[in-house]
C-alpha cells in the first residue's frame, strides 16, 4: 500500500516502528547502582536470617540442655528416693523382726 493511501494512524505507527533514541550514558550507571543496592540488601537480609537461625539454634540447644539436665536430675532424685525408701522399709522390717524375737 502506498503511503498516500495509508490511514492517519498507520502513517504514525509506521513512522515510529523501530524508532530508537540513545539514552544518556549516566542512565545505565544509575540502573547499575539500583541493582547493586538490591543485591546488597539481599545479602543483608540473608545475613540477618542466618543470625536469627544461629540465635534460635542456641536458644533451642539451651532449652533442650536444661530439659535434659532436669530430666536427668529428676531420674537421679527418683532413684535416690526409691533406695532411701527401701532402706527405711528394711530398717522397719528389721526392727519388727527384733521386737518379735
Q: Which is nearer to other proteins, 24 or 101 (CB)?
A: 24
CA distances in angstroms from 13 to 2, 16, 20, 23, 46, listed in the order given: 15, 5, 14, 22, 48
Go through the chain and tell me how many residues it has: 101
Q: Which is nearer to other proteins, 12 or 64 (CB)?
A: 12
Q: Which is nearer to other proteins, 3 or 101 (CB)?
A: 3
Please report how close the Cβ of residue 39 comes to other proteins at its closest, in angstroms: 7
Rg from Cα positions in the chain = 42
Please report how close the Cβ of residue 69 comes to other proteins at its closest, in angstroms: 47
Please report how close the Cβ of residue 48 comes to other proteins at its closest, in angstroms: 19
Using CB under 8 A as the criterion, which residues of the chain lie in contact with other proteins when the complex forms? Answer: 3-4, 8-9, 11-16, 18-24, 27-28, 30-32, 34-35, 38-39
Distance of CA 29 to the CA centre of its chain: 35
Cβ atoms of 3 and 11 closer than 8 Å: yes
Amino acid at each position: 500500500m502506498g503511503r498516500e493511501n495509508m490511514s492517519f494512524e498507520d502513517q504514525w505507527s509506521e513512522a515510529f516502528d523501530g524508532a530508537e533514541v540513545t539514552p544518556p550514558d549516566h542512565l545505565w550507571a544509575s540502573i547499575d547502582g539500583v541493582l547493586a543496592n538490591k543485591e546488597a540488601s539481599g545479602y543483608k537480609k540473608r545475613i540477618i536470617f542466618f543470625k536469627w537461625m544461629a540465635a534460635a539454634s542456641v536458644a533451642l540447644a539451651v532449652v533442650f540442655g536444661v530439659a535434659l539436665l532436669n530430666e536427668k536430675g529428676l531420674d537421679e532424685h527418683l532413684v535416690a528416693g526409691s533406695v532411701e525408701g527401701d532402706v527405711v522399709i528394711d530398717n522397719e522390717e528389721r526392727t519388727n523382726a527384733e521386737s518379735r524375737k
